[in-house]
Amino acid sequence: MSEDRRPVRLYDGVYLTPDPRNPNKKIIATVNLTPGKSIYGESLIHQSLDGQKIELRSWDPFRSKLAAAILNRLRSFPFAQGTKCLYLGASTGTTVSHLSDIVGSSGRIFAVEVAPRVARELMENVVKYRKNVLPIVADAKHPEKYGSVYGNITVLYCDIAQPDQTEIAIRNCTEYLQKSGILFLVVKASSIDALKPKNQVFSDQVEILKQAKFELLEKIDLEPFDRNHAMLVSRKSE
């Protein structure tokens, strides 16, 4: 009997599908919001789903920590059509582009990036083709200065390599995240304390979140995709 080659739904807009470069391997992918357009050299995969033709974009876990968390059995996934997400540390837009696929034309990704050169690449490669991504060239340490975030922000995603990254994320949540909203915090242990064991650094950040009235939902080590990184998923309770 031949193997079923159809994509398998993991979450809204996220699928497990055969790798076109290695049919014996399966990869995760999102439904391309801009068919025919690749963002960072990822594969474009044509598939049939429920009788309809779709185009999927392969999602590289070595270039996206959210993809790495999914492959490491992430359970919490609040992203869906219409979600409004504040994203800190957008960089050139790899993960942003996949979230753009998932939230669709009715959703919004407010993409904060502090480095002007990197932000220009984000605008040229992603924002130019995706109207649901709104760039904000600003320092995440000063969320009160953004000025262009609107609507109910139900998810805040933070991926900034700073010693006080957890405190920065909390300040942004206080400013924008609605009650019971979800925080995805990427913790880079070596940026916080290069001398401590990584698990101690992760535990320290969990304690900071708890003191700020966040309920920890998941703690996921991102090995083997990213060394010394963890994804902390928590819910804002106040």
- Determine the Cα–Cα distance for residues 28 and 63; give it in Å rounded to an integer: 13
- Cβ contact 189:196 at 8 Å: yes
Q: Which of 121, 11, 17, 22 is nearest to 59 (CA)?
A: 17
Helix (H) / strand (E) element for 70: namely helix 65-71
Instruction: Identify whether the C-beta of residue 131 lies closer than 8 Å to the C-beta of residue 174.
Output: no
The predicted structure's pLDDT at residue 147: 85
Rounded to whole angstroms, the Cα distance separating 81 from 65 reads 21
pLDDT, residue 1, reads 35
pLDDT of residue 4: 61
Tens of pLDDT along the chain (238 residues) come to 345 678 889 999 999 998 888 878 899 999 999 999 999 999 999 988 878 899 999 999 999 999 999 999 999 999 999 999 999 999 999 999 999 999 999 999 999 999 999 999 999 999 999 999 999 999 999 999 998 899 899 999 999 988 899 999 999 999 999 999 999 999 988 788 777 888 888 888 999 999 999 999 999 999 999 888 999 999 998 6
